[in-house]
Amino acid sequence: MKLTSIFIAASILAFTGSCQQKNTQETIKEETNLMIKSEQVAEHQGQAVYRYVLDNGTMQVELSNFGGLITKIITPDKDGNKENVTLTFDTTEEYLTKSNPFFGATAGRVANRIAAGKFTLDGNTYQLATNDGANHLHGGNEGFNKKVWKGEPYSNDSVVGVKMEYLSPDGEEGYPGNLQTTLWMELTDSNTLRIRFESETDQQTILNLTNHTYFNLSGVKADVQDHVFKFWADAYTPVDKGLIPTGEIKDVTGTPFDFRTPKVLGEQIAANEGGFDHNLVMKTEQSDEMKHFAQVKHPESGRVMDMYSDNVGVQFYTGNFLSDFEGADGKTYQKHWGFCLESQVWPDAINHENFPSPILNPGEKYEHLIEYRFSVEQ
């Protein structure tokens, strides 16, 4: 994630194109047939809700302009069997009527937690909703995940996608400033799901946008403890009992957070007494460097997912609070049935001077790019 003058053009495509998959992995299929389908499936508060299907001939990604949602990601395994690899509902319409733990959601204005829902900015103290115990979580009672975005499908020779826009008015959920956000979600012909955010404000505010998809590379057949994880992170931010960072930046060496060599998730969950809901440190300062954050493999299916981002951290969450949740295809999601990799500014950063800043000023542009690259290994 980076903040730049609104007069400076972003060179996003230049550095994303330079990040290539390792030779040990094969792209799932070389030939693609890019298509996009759009259909209205519901209305919410007088606004049309659409379901979009992005298809490159090998993968399918389903989206909605309600909440900037990713509702499904369908990918083949090593034998060519295509299955959904996200926790979800059967229909987009169910997101309008059923509560869920941010499945596939765009989280904002500020993703993750703010201690006591309180922060001070430019001499003013703001009190936000405390919707996660004593703390503020993922933008409040009606964050970006519950808004209808203005959607516009697009395509070219190498991608199909949807451009979505949302204007968050001054004071919404207690945040200052009118915030204009544009979100691009696209599928490339090389099996990459790319998510890009841009935002501008007319008043100093705080911002931390991310996507909150729960992945399960088995095809959602069981929990994810058999998945193998690697993170390019040398440090993490410890938390208190309310999952608020203490302010410490701790080396991962000798801890369950050391995934610098591939680790089976179940073994690390056992070592960490129940799971992960922590920020892993990818950078200590904001920059436009596109960094390899994580690689996840599911040995049985052969599916591989590599995550890249230009942000400073990633919230690694292992579905610790899932329990008897009725999801899609008649499946009941239990604890650790999904994992989230949420590219982000560090949690509660506004209340820690030693953390990278989440402040966005008028005349600046917030830019944030995430890529999930899918492949298979035999």
Q: Which residues carry out catalysis?
A: 212, 342
Closest CA to 374 of 188, 145, 241, 250: 188
Contact yes or no for 367/195 (Cβ under 8 A): no
DSSP 81-111: -EEE-B---SSTTHHHHS--S-TTEEE-SB-
Residue type, 285: E
Closest CA to 17 of 137, 142, 159, 121: 159
193: Cβ contacts below 8 Å, ≥ 6 apart = 61, 70, 73, 185, 186, 187, 371, 372, 373, 374
- Using CB atoms within 10 A of its CB, is residue 353 exposed (0-12), middle (13-18) or buried (19+)? exposed
Secondary element (H or E) of residue 196: strand 192-201
The tokens for 95 are: 């997101």
Q: φ and ψ at 216, to 5 degrees?
A: -150, 100
Closest CA to 137 of 344, 337, 372: 344
Alpha carbons 317 and 184: distance in angstroms, whole number: 24
363: Cβ contacts below 8 Å, ≥ 6 apart = 5, 6
